[in-house]
Amino acid sequence: MNSLHSLFAHAALQQPTGTTTDDRAQSFRPVQGGNEIQSGEKLLVEAYAAIWLIVFAMVFLSWRRQKQIDRRIDALEAAVQRARASSGQGTS
């Protein structure tokens, strides 16, 4: 309990005097020397492009996997038909 009290006391000491939490939330202070400004439109386009590239890659990889599965199923069906033909059962 004492450590909790000292934590709140320490936080109260760190808060600048004369300002309340409402003042800080409503004021804007620009940073001096900030050279890393990017437009929001550019970032939005880049984000959409990245998402579309990921979606296309997933569709392409799924399509390739599906082709492999189809080939495997065709091979298994052919093997079943050969096994039936060699055992004399025929196809039903």
Q: Which helix (H) or strand (E) holds 5?
A: helix 2-14
Would you kindly state where each structural domain of the chain is located, as residue ranges? 43-92
Query: What's the whole-model pTM score?
Result: 0.48
> What are the tens digits of pLDDT across the range 1-11?
566 566 566 56
- Name every residue whose Cβ is closer than 8 Å to that of residue 91 and which is 6 or more positions away in sequence: 81, 84
Per-residue exposure over 32-46, b if at least 16 CB sit within 10 Å of its own CB, e if not? eeeeeeeeeeeeeee
13-59 per-position pLDDT tens digit: 555 555 555 555 567 776 676 666 778 899 999 999 999 999 999 99
The two counts, helices (H) then strands (E), for the chain are 3, 0
Query: The tokens of 72 are what?
Result: 């495997």
